[in-house]
């Protein structure tokens, strides 16, 4: 735990008592703050009370006595309309911040020189965060990973000069962290997302920009127009900017040439690392993730050889193009986290011969955006509520069957893939759907796929929980 000592002796209001909210309250109390917490869910309030956290409905609180208001990232700050607690805080002139801001202030107070890598973007945040932390740990560094992935940030070990922090930051968390100041800030990419919470794409992009604008080194993916403009703005403002591109030969920065990760300086190119043969980092999207991790780890003082070793030993992220087993030339890949068409596209683009398990609770637009990848599909196995609609979209573009359940789909896909005469056949769960019609969440769906695949006679498991 990181005791929030910068709030010692101050009275703080807190709203949102999920896992990170309770962790934040405990960190504040450990640091000497007086905390009054609340949640709209009575069960969450009862859980907090059971852990010794003082609770009261903040609608009846004396807001003039609060120095700060800590808001859970999942609670609306601006759109579609501010939560009632936000209105009360603003009316009283009380600052509104989140747990990442508490971490930032504690680092400034205790160990301002400790390496702090903050990672954001619309897609690839989790893989890049996990990969960066893995490379640092593999190189023998004390690396703490958390934020929007894994552990709540205030549950990490306290700041120390040689302790590296690798923190995934959502737009919600950045919006509540006005002092965010990473030693290396990473902005991977920007596409429309969470506009129900941010109103416009411009507002969403401006929030993401804050992370790199506050960093000592801004690492920015320049393959989309929003990020390219952000990189240019930061450079004009005198910021140290490192551009990365998964496809463009850059004059300065890092780019991918096939599986080679290249460094460009004054128009000259050299290979720094390679993704050749690294199954957990297949696909162009993972080239961008690896480039960001490479740039961040070089900035943190690692040598190229240390980075290459970390890339090669990276097991991948659970439920995101996770290789779970192999039987001969058949590879089983769990991409359960792909809960919409855009999220499924990277996996479908990464393999030439796919036995595709898709379906579940459908999202708007279905799989029509994936039509360009239909030639990769040897056969589709459709499950859940979306099966009829997906079948209609596939039409004659690819063979399919309505398997109904995930267990049946895995069994049928494995049998068909075993008969494939190509060099590699991939049984891929990349549902392009939410899981809620058949599973509680995408993690449980992915676990069911992993278990079904690994229970097939002759399948050799790859890795485990990662």
**pLDDT-based confidence at residue 363 (cuts at 50, 70, 90):** confident
**Domain count for the chain:** 3
Residue 150 forms part of a structural domain? yes
Q: Which pLDDT score, from 0 to 100, does residue 465 have?
A: 39
Q: CATH code at 375?
A: 3.90.190.20
Q: Find the domain containing 368 and state its range.
A: 322-461
Name the domain boundary from 313, 347, 376. Answer: 313
3-state SS of the chain? CCCCHHHCCCEEEEECCCHHHHHHHHHHHHCCCEEEEECCCHHHHHHHHHCCCCECCHHHCCHHHCCEEEECCCCCCCCCCCCHHHHHHHHCCCEEECHHHHHHHHHHHHCCCCCEEEEECCCCHHHHHHHHHHHHHHCCCEEEEEECCCECHHHCCCCCCCEEEEEECCHHHHHCCCCCCCCEEEECCCCCCCHHHHCCHHHHHHHHHHHHHCCCEEEEECCCHHHHHHHHHHHHCCCEEEEEECCCCCCCEEEEECCEEEEEECCEEEEEEECCCCHHHCCHHHHHHHHHHHHHHHHCCCCHHHHHHHHHHCCCECCECEEEEEECCEEEEECCCCCCHHHHHHHHHHCCCEEEEEECEECCCCCHHHHHHHHHEEEEEEECCCHHHHHHHHCCCCCEEEEECHHHHHHHHHHHHHCCCCCCEEEEECCCEECCCCCCCHHHHHHHHHHHHHCCCCCEECCCCC
User: Each residue of 29-87: pLDDT tens digit?
Assistant: 999 999 999 999 999 999 999 999 999 999 999 999 999 999 999 898 888 889 999 99
Q: Are residues 176 and 303 in the same domain?
A: yes
- Residue 198: pLDDT over 70: no
Residues 31 and 65 in one domain: yes
Is there a single domain that holds both residue 143 and residue 272?
yes
Query: Is 348 in the same domain as 439?
Result: yes
Min mean pLDDT across 265-274, 308-317, 457-466 is at 457-466
pTM assigned to the model: 0.86
**What is the mean pLDDT of the segment spanning 160-174?**
95
Q: Is residue 466 part of a domain?
A: no
What is the overall mean pLDDT for the chain? 94
């Amino acid at each position: 735990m990181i005791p929030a000592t910068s709030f010692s002796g101050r009275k703080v209001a807190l709203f949102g008592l999920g896992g990170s909210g309770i962790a934040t309250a405990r960190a504040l109390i450990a640091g000497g703050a007086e905390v009054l917490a609340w949640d709209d869910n009575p069960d969450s309030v009862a859980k907090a009370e059971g852990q010794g956290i003082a609770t009261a409905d903040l609608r009846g609180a004396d807001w003039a006595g609060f120095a700060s208001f800590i808001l859970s990232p999942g609670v609306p700050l601006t759109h579609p309309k501010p939560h009632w607690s936000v209105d009360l805080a603003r009316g009283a002139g009380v600052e509104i911040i989140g747990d990442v801001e508490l971490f930032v202030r504690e680092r400034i107070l205790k160990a301002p020189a400790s390496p702090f890598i903050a990672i954001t973007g619309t897609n690839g945040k989790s893989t890049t965060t996990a990969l960066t932390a893995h490379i640092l740990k593999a190189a023998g560094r004390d690396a703490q990973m958390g934020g929007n992935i894994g552990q709540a940030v205030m549950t990490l070990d306290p700041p120390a000069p040689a302790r590296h922090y690798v923190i995934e930051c959502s737009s919600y968390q950045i919006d509540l962290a006005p002092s965010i100041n990473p030693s290396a800030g990473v902005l991977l990419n920007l596409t429309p997302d969470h506009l129900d919470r941010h109103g416009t794409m411009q507002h969403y992009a401006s929030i993401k920009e804050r992370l790199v604008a506050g960093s000592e080194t801004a690492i920015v993916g320049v393959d989309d127009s929003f990020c390219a403009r952000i990189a240019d703005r930061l450079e004009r403002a005198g910021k140290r900017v490192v551009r990365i591109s998964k496809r463009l030969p850059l004059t300065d920065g890092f780019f991918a040439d096939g599986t080679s990760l290249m460094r460009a300086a004054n128009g000259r190119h050299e290979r720094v690392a390679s993704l050749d043969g690294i199954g957990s980092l297949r696909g162009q999207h993972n080239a961008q993730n690896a480039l960001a991790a490479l740039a961040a780890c070089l900035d943190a003082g690692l040598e190229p050889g240390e980075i290459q070793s970390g890339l090669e030993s990276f097991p991948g992220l659970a439920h995101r193009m996770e290789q779970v087993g192999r039987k001969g030339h058949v590879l089983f890949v769990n991409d359960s986290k792909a809960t919409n068409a855009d999220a499924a596209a990277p996996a479908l683009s990464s393999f030439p011969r796919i036995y595709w398990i898709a379906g579940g609770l459908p999202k708007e637009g279905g799989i029509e955006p994936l039509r360009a990848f239909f030639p990769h599909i040897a056969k589709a196995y459709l499950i859940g509520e979306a099966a009829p609609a997906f079948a209609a979209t596939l039409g004659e573009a690819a063979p399919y069957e309505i398997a109904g359940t995930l267990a049946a789909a895995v069994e049928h896909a494995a049998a068909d893939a075993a008969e494939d005469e190509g060099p590699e056949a991939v049984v891929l769960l990349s549902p392009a759907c939410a899981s809620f019609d058949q599973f509680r969440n995408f993690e449980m769906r992915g676990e069911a796929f992993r278990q079904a695949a690994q229970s097939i006679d002759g399948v050799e498991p790859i890795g485990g929980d990662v």
